[in-house]
Amino acid sequence: MNKTIQLQDLGLQDYKQTWELQEELFKGIVDLKIRNRREELDLATPNFFLFVEHPHVYTLGKSGDLDNLLLSEKQLEAKGATFYKINRGGDITYHGPGQIVGYPILDLENFFTDIHKYLRFLEEAIILTLQEYGLSCGRSEGETGVWLGVGTPFARKICAMGVRASRWVTMHGFALNVNADLGYFDNIIPCGIRGKAVTSLQVELGVEKVNEAEVKHKIIKHLTILFEAQFEETFIKE
């Protein structure tokens, strides 16, 4: 079992370009697993974790409803945003500058074979990170992601999640609003959930700007403990 995770920060990168990279890494792991089984080999499968920030983009999961996008093609263009239907779970979400997006491309057979546990661990890493900033946050029953004010009229989502898994290999991941322009969420029904707001770390802390590199390091610290993994931090882009 290979518990080393190769970490790379891609900086600001186009969504489609990053999606293609994810698919390439994902396919490489799956192909190696198939080869191992066919040829009775025991070659270690790699694990990857990508940090990235996207230009304005809306993505719709395979089970999502297109009606949750409230913009026409022309309006999207006017806002400088793009739109993609993709192969993760979940409904519609927004990615943009000031948002930390994490894409784990892991062979879960290196860790544990339980998708629900995997999702809970991703949520837990974000919850523990936000707690370091003094925020009280948690899960909302039946809704993936991380929330503040659960059980109150002021429930608001700070981190969205959507994953794909095949042969225990994962892709896609989470999007944490840190310094994001929350106005872009007004153009969708986020995750298909009506009547609930979104927020950011910047808004919750009431500061001009949050240090995103610091947030990333905290996330990796908690993922390392939860997954009992070792991240190759030389791949981090400072």
Could you list the residues known to form a binding site for substrate, using ranges.
88-95, 160-162, 173-175
Q: What number is the average pLDDT over the span 60-81?
A: 88
Whether 137 is catalytic: no
152-194: per-residue pLDDT in tens? 888 999 999 989 999 999 999 999 999 999 999 988 876 555 5
Distances 61 to 57, 84, 175, 220 between C-alpha atoms, Å: 13, 9, 14, 26
Beta-carbon contacts of 28 under 8 Å, excluding residues fewer than 6 positions away, are: 46
Higher pLDDT residue, 191 or 1? 1
Q: What are phi and psi of 198, to 5 degrees?
A: -120, 160
Q: In sequence order, what E strands does 141-189 have?
A: 143-148, 156-166, 169-177
Report whether pLDDT(62) > 70: yes
Could you list the residues known to form a binding site, using ranges.
88-95, 160-162, 173-175
- Please give the DSSP secondary-structure letter assigned to residue 109: G
Report whether pLDDT(234) > 70: no
Q: What architecture is the 4-235 domain classified under in CATH?
A: 2-Layer Sandwich (3.30)
- Please give the DSSP secondary-structure letter assigned to residue 46: P
Q: Of the residues 191, 198, 223, 229, which is catalytic? A: 191
- The answer to whether 58 touches 94, Cβ cutoff 8 Å, is yes
Q: Where are the domains of the chain?
A: 4-235
25-42: per-residue pLDDT in tens? 999 999 999 999 999 999
d(CA 80, CA 103): 24
Question: Would you place residue 236 in the very low, low, confident or very high pLDDT band (cuts 50, 70, 90)?
Answer: very low
